[in-house]
Structure 1
Amino acid sequence: MAEKDKPLLIKRYASRRLYNTETSDYVTLEDIASLIREGREVQIVDLKSGDDLTRQYLLQIIAEHESRGESVLPVDVLNDLVRSYMTPGSSVVPQFLQASFEMLRDGQSQMMDKMTAMNPMAKMPGFELMQAQQQAFMKAMTGGLGGGSGWSAPDKDEPAEDQESAEDLDAIKKQLAELQDKLSKLK
């Protein structure tokens, strides 16, 4: 198995600090969330007991995002999750959620493949940009769910990169406006 296919091992010390065994440094929950958004699988274990704490920390990441107003799940879904945990016996909700997210990831991949292979618009100028935007949108919609999103907060120590990102965004907006104009003329 390739190194990147194995989950990244994070060890939790008795002091509750989290240690990235790959980079040999301490990490925060936000660092772990960024790794997951980039597509990495992680496994968090207690150094002393060897207990797997991954689920606990992933739920904590979601809870922290929710507390900052970054809604991850609609309230109805959260209510249904609580109900499923409180229902005696085994619930089908975890298997359903897992299957749903697998279908979402597979559908995203198939959609992007078909957009490239069968779409007559593929020859249209700017199609690559539109496809990249679609991929970014799909990754944002599934961010942290195994597909990764690549979205992360900009590093405060990189103002030149922020300026480049702003210029790239302006260029993308301009190209999108041009595409919309061309499409409206085709109608």
Structure 2
Amino acid sequence: MANASSSPDAKAGPAGRPSVTIKKYANRRLYNTETSSYITLEHLAAMTREGRDFQVFDARTGDDITRSVLTQIVMEGEAGGQTMLPTSFLRQIIALYGDSMQSMVPHYLEASMAAFAENQASFRDAALKPFEQLARQNLAMFQAATEMMKGGMLRETAARSTDKPGKRPAPSTDEVAQLKEQLAAIQARIDGLKG
């Protein structure tokens, strides 16, 4: 039986910060000893995504219940529509309980997830490449359209300056303001695509 008082508060987690001790009370409330505040499972999920290491202890018995709390977070995510675990995978996991291979499964899953985490950047790059290419094409089209508009306005301005006075009226302040707004909107779109 683990004791909460002997919990490794000072133990460094994966992100190099000390592991946080969480106490779970009989009323199902979770207490973060680092911030001296009550938290929710959503807080623990956020801490996990940030790479914060934590251990959850039953406040009454001192038992380490981290695994069951993490499982609860996964199940709430699955029930909340954020399904990640295919039904066939869940069936295979259940079938392995009590099987002679059961002791191998945790090591296999840990190694698989570690490999996935290492390759995550490559997966993201591969998934985003088509979108980046599309964004570059759209950006080029917007820039060409902007240049055409600027060139057209310059030609029109040049034509006005060579016209005889009185033939064509100068653009009104409203027309100039409207053109500036249109150019600003196009530029904002281009800047948005660059980001």
C-alpha contact (below 8 Å) 1:8/1:22 kept by paired residues: yes
2:45 matched to which residue of 1?
Answer: 33
Task: Note the C-alpha offset of 1:181.
Answer: 5.0
Conserved in 1, the CA contact under 8 Å of 2:12 and 2:19? no
Q: C-alpha separation between the residues in 1 aligned to 2:21 and 2:56?
A: 6
Aligned length in residues: 126
How far is the alpha carbon of 1:176 from its aligned partner?
6.4
Distance 1:69 1:26 in 2: 26
Specify which structure has the bigger relative contact order, considering alpha-carbon pairs within 8 angstroms and separated by 6 or more residues. Answer: 1
Query: Does structure 1 residue 179 correspond to structure 2 residue 154?
Result: no
Gap change, CA 1:180 and 1:88, over 3 Å in 2: same
- Compared with structure 1, are the counterparts of its residues 89 and 19 closer, same or farther at alpha carbon in structure 2 (3 Å cutoff)? same
CA distance in structure 2 between the partners assigned to 1:97 and 1:12 by the alignment: 27
- Partners in 1 of 2:54 and 2:21 — Cα distance? 6
TM-score, normalised relative to structure 2: 0.54
Paired residue secondary structure (1:92) = helix
Partners in 2 of 1:18 and 1:60 — Cα distance?
13
Gaps of 5+ in 2: 1-10, 141-195
2:78 is aligned, of 49, 66, 78, to: 66
Tell me the percent identity: 38
Residue 47 of structure 1 deviates from its aligned partner by 1.7
Q: 2:66 aligns with which of 54, 78, 88?
A: 54
Structure 1 or 2, whichever has the larger Rg, is 2
List 4+ stretches of structure 1 deviating above 6 A. none
Deviations 1:37-89 (A, max 9, x none): 12212210012211010110111111111112210211111111111114256
When normalised by structure 1's length, the TM-score is 0.57
For 1:129, the equivalent position in structure 2 comes to none
Q: Return the letter of the residue paired with 2:50.
A: E
